[in-house]
Amino acid sequence: MSIEAKLRRAGKGKRLVIENGAGAEVNEGLAAMIAEAFAIRNLLLSGSDDSIEAMTERLGMGKGQLTSLVRLSYLAPDIVHALLKGRQPIELTPTRLLRLSKDLPHDWSEQRHFLGFADGRPIISGRNAL
């Protein structure tokens, strides 16, 4: 008996990934981070605070964290959809995504490649798109 499996980096360790057609499991930390990123962007665009500093103080977070979250709110729509459906690369954890956000490319195709989504092509298309 043989099964196709791959070792993939996941945080500080490695996981054995066996492709068996099982449904994807949503990473709640990633989903919450994406929701927070869009909420922060909406707050920023609403102009309810006099400055970024006032906003970070009111929200109780550092300027770096706020900036990283705003960057994540500009992910390609299909990446956001994949994260919310649990179809992200196994090594893409909330901590890693936040760390990578500082170098996140603006181009959506480059984002897909940079974050480990296949070969940079859209993850979903046609009627399955957002």
- pTM of the complete model beyond 0.75: no
Q: Residue 22 falls within a domain, yes or no?
A: no
pLDDT at 37: 96
pLDDT digits (tens, 9 = 90+) for 92-130: 999 999 999 999 999 999 999 999 987 656 676 544 444
CA distance 2 to 122: 32
Number of compact structural domains in the chain: 1
pLDDT at 49: 84
Q: Residue 3 falls within a domain, yes or no?
A: no
Q: Residue 93 falls within a domain, yes or no?
A: yes
Residue ranges of the chain whose pLDDT lies below 50: 21-22, 126-130
Q: Residue 16 falls within a domain, yes or no?
A: no
pLDDT at 52: 86
Q: Residue 74 falls within a domain, yes or no?
A: yes
Q: Residue 8 falls within a domain, yes or no?
A: no
Q: Residue 95 falls within a domain, yes or no?
A: yes
Write out the residue range of the structural domain in which residue 46 sits: 27-128
pLDDT at 25: 82
Q: Residue 119 falls within a domain, yes or no?
A: yes
